[in-house]
Structure 1
Amino acid sequence: MAPVLVSLALWMVTTVVIAFTDVGDIRSDSNAFWWAFFLVPFAMFSSVMQVVLMASERSATLMFVKALGRWVEVGFVTGGVVLIQNNAATVFGGKLAVAALLCVYYVHWIKRNFRFSMSSLDINATLGAFRYGIPMMANELAWVALVAIDRVMLKEITSDFAAVGIYAIGYSLAMQINVLMSATLSEAFVPVANRIHGAQGDEAVRELKRTLLRPLTYACIGVAAMVLGVGNEVIVALSGPAKAASGDVFVIVGMAIAIYPMFEVGNYGLLLRNKSTIVLAITLSAAALNILLNLLLIPRLGFIGAAWSTVASYAALAIGGALFCPRGLFQAPGPHSVLLACSCAAILLLWIEYGLAPEIENIWIFLFMSALSFAIFYAAPVWAFDRELRAAVMALRKGRGA
């Protein structure tokens, strides 16, 4: 609980400073600001508890609580805006109410599942946790910079708010792929890898990676192929023809984000050796590369330059992770899986481009037929030609049935 107490102390100090000095021209009568500010400790505690659930390998509970919390938040915010007042303070008030309810649940859960005692406090272990955790905290901040800096630079370099809006729409939709694949994967894979490494060592972790990378390779390349094939149409279907320019951003960034989980799993190893400082250095280097490329490409290519800068930064993360991953823990995707996935993806894309696109004008019918084509030209051949994948799925089904 030490990180919670330290974070709470820093928040209280910040509260006092802002309340008595109006730092940054933030007025004390700004209701929306204070609603949002008081949301911080609840969000921080929820984040810590989510990490505890993830480390405890309770991914089902974690996913259920997060999904339920999101929907309850939608209900509270919508109800507040409709029934009380349509302003930002009401929105943050609804978020704060849901965050408080989640914290009550987390306190109840932790009292049932954990026991705390000051006599069990290990000072050396606590100091070691801080040495490991502080670079990881800085790494999270570096990730925030990596994700957000392109929009800031796009605005400052071009002074074109329309370009920022176009980029933000495409980028935000691409990040949903990250939520679907990378974030969900890490919550399931990382705790298991940590446990296996502590109990069985490096080779057991590599075996886990080999088992996971086979279906993950097919999933990553398949999603990337669909983003390339129908990404522009998805943007038009969801946002309307006026936002069609965001499609190129979604395609470029979305493909990079779809492919990245393969490297994220294969390169996972530095944190198993407590090398959090190296992880921070890799992220900072990728962020610096992103800034440099934005300076070079945005004046020439506009928001497309920012998109390619993001792709380059993800490539830097993948290459850096592979170079510095301990050799006993690195695992590349299987060449057979990569070749089969790329071959099926190429056939699928050719069919979408030359078989479907010229014949179908209705965008929703086109998307439906593209999804059906994915099953026929990608999923079915992968299943048919990869005997080991079929065996693994059958074994998993038998294990669940038992």
Structure 2
Amino acid sequence: MIWSLFRRQAHFAKPNLACLGSLFLFGFPLSIGQFSSQILNVSDRYIISILRNDAEAGLYAINHDIADASVRLIIMTLMLSGYTAVTECYEKAGREAAERLVSTLSRMYILLALPIVVGTYFTQHDLVLLVADRKYAEGADILFWVSFGVFLLGLAQYQDLGLHIARKSGLLASIVTGSACLNIILNLLLVPVLGFRASAYNAFITFAVLSIIIPIFSRRWLAWSIPWTSLAKIAAALAGMAVVAALLGRTSEIPYIRLALQTSVGAATYFSLLLLMGELNWRTFMKLTI
């Protein structure tokens, strides 16, 4: 009886095969690209375990995840709204407005993420001691290379927005898959010689290649440009932060105190210099910190 009542009341619309086909053609290559990205993330650990040993694989995994999480938090925070905003801007205001928005979002990403990478270089050993057992600190020197690589991966996600807008998901998937293959080849060649550290170097190389190739293909539909003036000011502020972090690294023998000083005073120095140079205004700074 319930089924009879349901059949009388319900009206099933015929599926739009053209729409479904379009979604499949766009989404299926993206799923392949995502699968390749996952291979890129985990294959290095298996290669280290097979070609070296499980101990080195564990060292790499712990240190990699610490560095990865520190930068990926910024990527996820900014990209959750960035893609939608750029797409909407492109549809309503056109290509030039969308390109300006991408440049602005890229600048904000660089401004927030790059100091984490630089800070990691000066605090990597103490950072591992804070969140993991002392035995894992042996591999702390890879944190900088991993965080730098993840930073470039995040930058590539702004660079590839043109491919998304043009629905060139197949091209994007091909580029990501090619990068995954490059990473695997480099690991197979170098891990037996250099150990687990080779995987960190290879990840950096792979993501650097990705961030060079993607804007070349994407600029036909949406050009990505580096805000050079902003980049110069950010670099100057980072240099000041690096000097402070290096000096504070000698102030205490206690890792946690040293880490707290380097992080707090280094960040204060960085943002103060940006404010002084006019790269960051007070209103924007308050939005970032509150």
> Is this a same-fold pair by TM over 0.5?
yes
Q: Deviations over 1:204-259 (max 9, x none)?
A: 21121122223222112211111111122100121132111231222210122134
What's the RMSD between the two structures over aligned residues? 2.3
In the other structure, the counterpart of 1:207 is 100
2:66 corresponds to 1:173: yes
TM-score by length of 2: 0.89
1:236-247 to structure 2, matched below 5 A, reads 236-247=129-140
Q: What is the aligned counterpart of 2:141 among 242, 245, 248?
A: 248
| Residue 347 of structure 1, aligned match among 225, 233, 240 | 240
The aligned residue for residue 390 of structure 1 is 281
Instruction: Show the counterpart of 1:14.
Output: none
For 1:86-108, what per-residue CA distance to the aligned partner results, in whole angstroms no more than 9, with x for missing partners? xxxxxxxxxxxxxxxxxxxxxxx
2:267 corresponds to 1:366: no
Paired amino acid for 1:376: A
The one-letter amino acid paired with 1:371 is T
Large movers: runs of 4+ above 4 Å: 394-397
Unaligned stretches of 5+ in structure 2? 1-9
Kept in 1: contact 2:248–2:258 (CA 8 A) = yes
Q: 1:290 is matched with which residue? A: 183
C-alpha separation in 2, matches of 1:142 and 1:326: 23
Between 1:137-146 and 1:373-382, the stretch displaced more is 373-382
| In structure 2, C-alpha distance between the alignment counterparts of 1:211 and 1:328, rounded to whole Å | 18
Higher RCO, 1 vs 2 (CA within 8 Å, ≥6 residues apart): 2
Please state how far the C-alpha of 1:184 moved relative to its aligned partner: 2.7
> How much has 1:122 moved relative to structure 2?
2.6
- Residue equivalent to 1:279: 172
1:191 aligns with 2:65: no
2:125 maps to a residue whose letter is: N
Unaligned runs of at least 5 residues, structure 1: 1-115, 398-402
Structure 1 residues 15-69: Cα deviation after superposition (integer angstroms, max 9, x where no partner): xxxxxxxxxxxxxxxxxxxxxxxxxxxxxxxxxxxxxxxxxxxxxxxxxxxxxxx
Whether 1:377 aligns to 2:234 is: no
Q: Is the 8 A contact 1:220 1:261 kept in 2?
A: no
> What is the SS of the residue equivalent to 1:180?
helix
Match of residue 138, structure 1, among 32, 40, 65: 32
Q: Percent identity?
A: 21
CA drift of 1:366 comes to 0.7
Query: Partner residue of 1:229?
Result: 122
SS of the residue 1:270 aligns to: helix
Give yes or no for contact 1:221–1:259 (8 Å, CA) kept in 2. Answer: no
Counterpart for residue 231 of structure 2: 338
Tell me what 2:248 maps to.
356
Alignment-derived partner of residue 109 in structure 1: none
Provide closer, same or farther for how the CA distance between residues 266 and 229 of structure 1 changes in structure 2, counting only shifts above 3 A.
same
| Distance in 2 (alpha carbons) for counterparts of 1:394 and 1:180 | 19
Distance across 1 between alignment mates of 2:285 and 2:110: 18
